[in-house]
Chain A
């Protein structure tokens, strides 16, 4: 959006958002889409905790409980956490490297719409009353036994959404490799850009196994194949391997971008450069690499034998080393800094101990003999919520407060932000700390209820109360967002006052072409360097003002994803409804027609005229 308020009709605005290829707007779309699914997943979580509040509860039946936990996990990981992180990557990473957009703006928009339609596809299952119920891991023996179309919704919905994620990952890789501003060497990239890079590389390598696995599952369930059925010569364990070869890298895809956001926060609000920058980069890459070598730690109890268990145990523990390097570097970044405890900084400070606790329980679970005791108990539930909520979700909430002004041009209220923090932080530990003990006391995970008199009652009550506190925290944040948007008090380039990287040297929100002149990067924290040398604009331009080439918007990504969405229903009802086959064909033809349209019609983009850029620059009166 340009900085001049333009009056436009609702239809035109909607069309603009449906066809946009601007990375900043797509970032916002991801945030909205992911935020919506976060609320949906949150409501499911509240129902789970309500059901487990008392022993022998019958609020929901066992079958519906299975559906709710499955959808909670799937939604939170694939439709909330990943998209929101991808939203931040979209909105911020190109600004950090001084680029005007991502490398493939069209693919970027396609990625978003595929995620969106995939997510809608998954959740439409609720309206059919046939919901995935084999767990977010959808182990094949459960998935094959699941009746109705539930697991089909899982397989096809994730296939579509996963394709979108893969497109996003490739796009970010190419962007970072090719579109860095002059002077932005790899070792001058801000940490959030680095973590985006490594997470994207992990997406590149981890999502194809998921795609393959989901295809096998789709064919198994819908087209009569027998990959996983032992009575037909298949092997159910294969699915577990494929899933975890994807699944363990996936959890690091979730945590690395959050690490990046926290690294930015620590430097900004400690007003120091990041301690041990190169060690941080190295640790990030190493975590990304090792993340592919440990998948079998989810399968210790499958019976791989002592050799495999021992080797995977050691490999798993090795990851704690680069993670520890990061923790110490963050601590040393804060050490001796001039600390400002803003809302993002509060989240970051709380993240360190919380995440360390999750890492320690991870190493405990990585010890194969101990895992035989703890596997499939609430201890595992506690572990992954400590890392995923304490790491990823804290990171998302911190990032929301940190980057809100950059993305929307208004500042979220700090007091309300701190209220959100305290409710959520306290509620989180109340909910999940006690679950470690529930695990020790033998409460299995994924049970829909439990008998009285096993000593689990009060722990479950405590856990449910904590969940309520978290919900209150999120509600306060939603209120904060609404109030802030209504008040609409505009902020300047660097509302936090201590921005060190390029995104803080341009408007909030940036003009649609981001940089009037591509900046020259002179070191790590380039804006900080410029400011210390008296250049208040924070940017030294690398080029004269000249025409800027920009991509045109396109409606094709929306239509293409819609085609896949339609084909999904056809595949599912192919054999049992007369219209099934026709819908499958129509959907695929629709998709290919959209692809053909994109390939055959040249779209060369357009130029922003030099005069218009000069006009924009004069209006903001800054940079010469």
Chain B
């Protein structure tokens, strides 16, 4: 085997690590609650539409649902898949490139190819 170095953390480092972990845990729980809240909202909106509650028209609900969905994807990626942390620049770049390509293709079809 190659030479293995064992690295011992100092108490200060250990504390810092703990504090960071606690902070990230707090963020995750907050975001998790937010996501559940958004999900409940979405469901109740659709229920309200089906129960013919006044003011819940298709044209309000569909865009709102799409917006919520986008927010959920963002939260998922940034909080639960840790893209908000350091060292994720390259995956972000590739993901956004892919999103841009997909967006341009869809936009092209919707604007100049089919209509």
Contact = CB atoms under 8 A, between A and B. Distances in A.
A204 B101 CA distance: 12
Contacts of B1: 547, 607
B97 interface: yes
A448 interface: no
Interface stretch (A107-115, A304-312, A325-333): A304-312
B98 A205 contact: yes
B90 A546 contact: no
B77 to A, nearest CB: 18
Contacts of B101: 205, 292
A293 B104 contact: yes
Given A201-B94, A546-B3, A311 B112 contact: yes
Interface string A534-547: 00000000000011
B69 to A, nearest CB: 22
A305 to B, nearest CB: 7
Interface in B64-115: 90, 94, 97-98, 101, 104-105, 108-109, 112-113
Contact of A245 (B94, B97, B105, B112): B105
B112 A546 contact: no
A430 B47 CA distance: 72
Interface residues of A, number: 19
Given A205-B97, A205-B98, A205-B101, A547 B2 contact: yes
Contacts of A311: 112
A241 to B, nearest CB: 8
Interface residues of B, number: 14
Contacts of A62: none
A490 interface: no
A516 to B, nearest CB: 14
A546 B2 contact: yes
B91 to A, nearest CB: 10
A549 interface: yes
Contacts of A307: 112
A177 B90 contact: yes
- SS class of chain A's interface: helix, strand, loop or mixed? helix
Contacts of B105: 245
A155 interface: no
A204 B95 CA distance: 11
Contacts of B104: 292-293
Nearest to A178: B90
Given A201-B94, A293-B104, A549 B2 contact: yes
Contact of B113 (A204, A205, A289, A308): A308
A412 to B, nearest CB: 38
Contacts of A607: 1-2
A280 to B, nearest CB: 20
Interface in A477-498: none
A170 to B, nearest CB: 10
A201 B101 CA distance: 12
Contacts of B94: 201, 204
A296 interface: yes
A549 B2 CA distance: 9
Nearest to B109: A241
Interface in A173-206: 177, 201, 204-205
B98 A308 contact: no
Nearest to A245: B105
A293 B105 CA distance: 8
A607 B3 CA distance: 12
Contacts of A177: 90
Interface in A291-327: 292-293, 296, 304-305, 307-308, 311
Contacts of A289: 97
Nearest to B112: A308
A209 B104 CA distance: 14
A289 B101 CA distance: 9
Nearest to A299: B113
A307 B112 CA distance: 6
A265 B113 CA distance: 43
Nearest to A293: B104
A233 to B, nearest CB: 16
A272 to B, nearest CB: 32
A501 B58 CA distance: 62
Which of B3, B109, B112 has most A Cβ within 10 Å?
B112
Contacts of A549: 2
Contacts of A296: 108, 113
Interface in B2-18: 2-3
A177 B104 CA distance: 26
Interface in A335-353: none
Contacts of A205: 97-98, 101
13 contacts: A177-B90, A204-B94, A205-B97, A205-B98, A296-B108, A296-B113, A305-B112, A307-B112, A308-B108, A546-B3, A547-B1, A607-B1, A607-B2
Closest 4 pairs between A and B when the two form their complex, measured CB to CB: A547-B2, A308-B112, A307-B112, A292-B101
Interface of B: 1-3, 90, 94, 97-98, 101, 104-105, 108-109, 112-113
Given A304-B112, A308-B112, A547-B2, 9 more contacts: A201-B97, A205-B98, A241-B113, A245-B105, A292-B101, A293-B104, A308-B108, A607-B1, A607-B2
